[in-house]
Structure formats: structure tokens, C-alpha cells
């Protein structure tokens, strides 16, 4: 059963299509991901689904409600972890959660019960009465995730949930997210530009220039790629591209940012070989 449905969803800013007619569905209980570079349209799509932006055209439904016609019911069905820190660092962890519960109309006794639950899930119970300004970036991110799940939303949106964090903290946060999905049966819609992080998803939509370029499971997408993409920076890009082609017969392209790229079957084996030759 689809809990999110988008048909031809489009957003135009000053004549520029930030999102260009995207269509997809997200099943109940699924971890669904948008993978793409900065500026690809990931956050703009989430903002339309969360009623923070009105679509220029197209249609989107969330938990059975139209995002334009019934925004209040959509908002009551979702939790959001924004890319940027939105905690009040003058309050304690407990106080941030308490006010969030009040905003969603939860009774005090239920807020206390849920706070205990989510703080334990993200291993912050012992820091509950500490000011958020004393938290590390990783602890802040875990508290943001706990807050987003406090009211038991039908759909949780995670916009770049681990951006800027070290690999160990990223791994710990994903352990918490998977546990919450298992225990609460939540549907999770996340965005990322980390390819390894996207493998946490059941399905991934690769988005670029506001359009979905591919949509499948991580395993199927990797099979379709048929190899690894290596990106290179060089002072003399032309000479490097010609040398690689002469040595290996591989075509070298240049992306829109001016970086060289090439496709090989096994990047881990090819890079040391390349470094010893050029």
C-alpha cells in the first residue's frame, strides 16, 4: 500500500525547474531514498511533500491526504529531521522533546512516556537534563531524530540525516534508525549524497537536474551501473585523459564541475594500478 504518491510533481523558481515532473510511490514501512548531488532537487521535493512549499504543478498524496488540499492532516502524519540544526540549544534535551510533544497536541502523560522511549532508543537518557549547547554534533543529530519520532508519525522525513558527521557516528545513527523502523513499523523517506548511506534503503531514486534518472533497489542499481565511477582532479586534464586512454583504452569524460571521470569494473583494483602509471 502506497503511503506517498507523487505524480508529475514540479516546482519552478524564477523560470528554473528545481523539480521537473517527478513521479514515484513509497510503500508503507519502506525506507525510500533520494540519492543525488547538491542542487538536484532532493530537499525541494521533501519540502513539497511536507507542505512547506506549494507545487507549481503535479499532485502528491501522503497518508491518503492531498498535500495542497489538506496540509494540516499531512503535517499531523509526518515527522521531519531537517538538514540544518533546528534544536533550541538554550533548552535541555528533555525540554526540546517536551515542547515538540505539546506542538503535536500530545497529553503530558503520553509525552513523558514517549520521551523515555525515544531517549533510550538513541542512548541519550543520561543526558536528558543537559543543555543542548553542551552536546556534540553527533548527539544533536541523535536528539533531532528522537524528536522527529516522538509523536509516532506515519512517515518520517530525514533530509541528509548524517551530513558532516564522522563515519562512526553515521553508523551509530543508522543503527538507531533501523531499530526504530523495526520496532515502530515507520515509513522513512530520506535524502543523501552518500552512496554508502543510500544502501540502507529498500529502494533508491537517483535524482539529478530535478528529474528521477533511475529508481530501483540498491542491488539492482549497482548491477545496472556495471562498474565503478572514478573521479579525478588534475592541473592538465587534457594530457591526463589522453594518457589514460592510451594506457587502458578507457574513454575519460568531464562533468559539469570540470572533474574528469571514467568507468571501470573494479575501482579498488584500478586506482593503485593507475597511480603507479601516471
Indicate whether 258 pLDDT > 90: no
The ranges assigned to domains in the chain are 2-223, 227-275
Tens digit of each residue's pLDDT (9 = 90 or more) over 58-88: 999 999 999 999 999 999 999 998 877 889 9
The mean per-residue pLDDT over the stretch 188-209 comes to 90
At residue 261, does pLDDT exceed 90? Answer: no
C-alpha cell recorded at residue 163? 551530513
Q: In 3D, which of 268, 229, 221 has the Cα closest to residue 251?
A: 229
The values of phi and psi at residue 12, to 5°, are: -115, 130
| Nearest 10 degrees: Cα torsion 255, 261, 262, 264 | -120
| Alpha helices (H) in the chain, listed in sequence order | 42-49, 71-76, 93-103, 108-121, 137-149, 167-184, 195-198, 218-225, 237-248, 267-275
What is the per-residue pLDDT for 36? 87
| 162 — pLDDT class (breaks 50, 70, 90) | confident
* Packing angle of the helix pair 108-121, 167-184 (nearest 10 deg): 130
Does residue 128 come out as left (phi exceeding 0), alpha (psi in the -120 to 50 range) or beta?
Answer: alpha
Q: Does residue 268 have a pLDDT over 90?
A: no
CB of 191 closer than 8 Å to CB of 46: yes
Q: What cell does 167 get?
A: 563515519
Closest-CA residue to 190 (of 161, 220, 147): 161
Q: Which residues pair with 16 in a beta bridge?
A: 13
Homologous superfamily in CATH for domain 2-223: P-loop containing nucleotide triphosphate hydrolases (3.40.50.300)
Greatest alpha-carbon pair distance for the chain in Å reads: 71
Q: What is the pLDDT of residue 225?
A: 66
First to last CA, the chain: 53
Model confidence at 219: pLDDT above 80: yes
Closest CA to 144 of 130, 126, 132: 132
Check residues 146 and 12 and name the one with the higher pLDDT: 12
All 3 cell numbers of residue 156? 518520517
CATH class of 227-275: alpha beta
- Phi, psi values for residue 193, rounded to 5°: -120, 10
**Predicted local confidence at residue 7, as pLDDT:** 97
Q: What is the pLDDT of residue 278?
A: 67
pLDDT-derived band at 93, boundaries 50, 70, 90 = very high
Return the minimum-mean-pLDDT range out of 75-79, 102-106, 174-178, 241-245.
Answer: 174-178
Continuous segment of H or E residues that includes residue 12: strand 2-13
Q: What is the pTM of this model?
A: 0.75
227-275 matches 2-223 in CATH topology? no
* Cα–Cα distance for residue pair 65/86, rounded to 1 Å: 26
pLDDT at site 170: 77
Amino acid at each position: 500500500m502506497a503511503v506517498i504518491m507523487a505524480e508529475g510533481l514540479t516546482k519552478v523558481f524564477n523560470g528554473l525547474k528545481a523539480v521537473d515532473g517527478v513521479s514515484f510511490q513509497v510503500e508503507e514501512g519502506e525506507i525510500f531514498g533520494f540519492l543525488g548531488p547538491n542542487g538536484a532537487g532532493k530537499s525541494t521535493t521533501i519540502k513539497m511533500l511536507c507542505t512547506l512549499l506549494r507545487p507549481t504543478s503535479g499532485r502528491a498524496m501522503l497518508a491518503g491526504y492531498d498535500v495542497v488540499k489538506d496540509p494540516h492532516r499531512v503535517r499531523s502524519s509526518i515527522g521531519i529531521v531537517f538538514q540544518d540544526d533546528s534544536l533550541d540549544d538554550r533548552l535541555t534535551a528533555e525540554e526540546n522533546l517536551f515542547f515538540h510533544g505539546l506542538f503535536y497536541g500530545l497529553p503530558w502523560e503520553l509525552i513523558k512516556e514517549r520521551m523515555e522511549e525515544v531517549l533510550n532508543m538513541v542512548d541519550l537518557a543520561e543526558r536528558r537534563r543537559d543543555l543542548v549547547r553542551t552536546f556534540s554534533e553527533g548527539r544533536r543529530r541523535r536528539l533531532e531524530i528522537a524528536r522527529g519520532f516522538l509523536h509516532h508519525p506515519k512517515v518520517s522525513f530525514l533530509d541528509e540525516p548524517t551530513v558532516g558527521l564522522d563515519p562512526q557516528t553515521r553508523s551509530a545513527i543508522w543503527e538507531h534508525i533501523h531499530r526504530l523502523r523495526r520496532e515502530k513499523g515507520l515509513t522513512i523517506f530520506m535524502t543523501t549524497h552518500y552512496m554508502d548511506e543510500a544502501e540502507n534503503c529498500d529502494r533508491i531514486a537517483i535524482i539529478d537536474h530535478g528529474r528521477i534518472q533511475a529508481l530501483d533497489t540498491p542491488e539492482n542499481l549497482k548491477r545496472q551501473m556495471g562498474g565503478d565511477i572514478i573521479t579525478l582532479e588534475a592541473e592538465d586534464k587534457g594530457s591526463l585523459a589522453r594518457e589514460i586512454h592510451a594506457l587502458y583504452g578507457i574513454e575519460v569524460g568531464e562533468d559539469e564541475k570540470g572533474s574528469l571521470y571514467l568507468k571501470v569494473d573494479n575501482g579498488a583494483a584500478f586506482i593503485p594500478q593507475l597511480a603507479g602509471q601516471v
